[in-house]
Chains A and B, each alone.
Chain A
Amino acid sequence: MVGIVIVSHNKKVSEGIKEIIEQMVGKSIRVACVGGEKGRLGVSVEEIVKAVEEVFDEDGVIVFVDFGSTVIGAKTALSLLSEDQKSRVFIANAPILEGAFVAAVEASLGKRIEEVLKAAEEARNMEKS
């Protein structure tokens, strides 16, 4: 099953998203979350690498980021993965909460990473008014 990593400037945001996923989709999804804590904003590159490794398996991992430095941090983290991991780990060009939620639903249905990523990126177009 595709794994999910959530990277936010604030760990409460990442953990909140994980909680929504667990409550609405279930606990079978592997979700790792990182974020700034104890008053610090943002995360280090190594924290992101570790989160990816925590949920990585042959089905791959999709990383969701909020904005700015977490995008740079996640891209850098991906560039440091092994060649084998690199080909199966992607950053979603999607809103962090909506994207991660849609990805969790698709992953729970056993979809392949390409399909999960596509659905998650379409979450950008979710109509709200």
Chain B
Amino acid sequence: MAGSSEKIYSIDTKTLIKVLSNILEVMRTNEKYLTKLDADIGDADHGINMVRGFEKVMELISQQNPEDIGTVLQLTGMGLLQVVGGAAGPLYGMLFLEASKPLKGKKEMTVQDFVSMLEAGLRAVVTTGGGTQPGEKTMVDVLHPVVEKLKKMVSERSDLDFVTVLEEIVPYARECVIKTIPMLAKRGRASYLGERSIGHQDPGATSTYLIIRTFLDTLKGRKGVKISEYDESSGKMLKEEYI
């Protein structure tokens, strides 16, 4: 798959499991960075939470050896609900649990399925958070615009392959993360900081971006990226390196 320019129109169960195992690597590599972002405006546990969560996910997957995409996503949600504390557990847990529903029993995920999956995941995050809106400095600030853009892309073009779609989506998701910096936090622990939450990049939006981009990296034969340089004061991502 590495360096291949071949068009990928569907992702199978094995590839999805590879994406998840790469997400675990990406979380491990960026644990300190995510924790730093969370230390600035939250409770400094986002990095360790994501690592623990995806370790559990990979443990469940290797124990149960799921054969379809829906079950893989369901186990992902369950693993996160089992071990991740704080708000990240319910938010990411319900995201994957609901995302599994449109993919139930399927062994291949098309681009359209990918969009349905993220759309269901976004709905779960909004509901779990108690009606989170874009602009409140959360993971919704990445998920919402990404889902909207994906829906637009698939409605305009029917022959889309994964790499074409993700190569457009990933830089867009990155911009969305950067846009959380000037936002005033209205949800979670950061909201208690009021004005002091302004000027910091949101950790949840950042991990959501890393997850989305790991789909692209995996399909291109890579593991993912490490945020190798960032602005000390805002946490703004400055440079990424492949791991």
Contact = CB atoms under 8 A, between A and B. Distances in A.
A46 interface: yes
Interface in B109-130: 128-130
B90 A41 contact: no
Interface in B54-83: 81-83
Interface string A59-80: 0000000001100110110001
Contact of A46 (B43, B82, B128, B130): B82
A44 B81 contact: yes
Given A72-B129, A72-B130, A76-B90, A40 B85 contact: yes
B85 A76 contact: no
Nearest to A46: B82
Contacts of A45: 81-82, 89-90, 93
Contacts of B87: 68-69, 72-73
Interface string B155-192: 00000000000000000000000000000000011000
A42 to B, nearest CB: 4
Contacts of B45: 40-42
A42 B90 contact: no
B40 to A, nearest CB: 16
Contacts, number: 56
Interface residues of A, number: 15
Nearest to A68: B189
Contacts of B128: 72, 75-76
Contact of B91 (A42, A43, A46, A72): A72
Which of the four size classes fits the interface of chain B? Answer: 10 to 19
A8 to B, nearest CB: 12
A68 B188 contact: yes
Contacts of A72: 87, 90-91, 128-130
A76 B87 CA distance: 10
B160 to A, nearest CB: 34
B20 interface: no
B94 interface: yes
A44 B91 contact: no
A46 B86 contact: no
A64 to B, nearest CB: 17
Contact of B81 (A40, A42, A68, A76): A76
A69 B187 CA distance: 10
A40 B43 CA distance: 10
Given A72-B129, A72-B130, A41 B89 contact: no
B84 interface: yes
Given A43-B85, A44-B84, A73 B43 contact: no
Contacts of A80: 81
Contact of A69 (B81, B85, B93, B94): B85
Interface of B: 43, 45, 81-87, 89-91, 93-94, 128-130, 188-189
Interface of A: 36, 40-46, 68-69, 72-73, 75-76, 80
6 contacts: A40-B45, A42-B85, A45-B81, A46-B83, A72-B90, A76-B90
The 6 closest A-B pairs by CB, nearest first: A42-B85, A76-B90, A69-B87, A42-B86, A45-B81, A46-B82
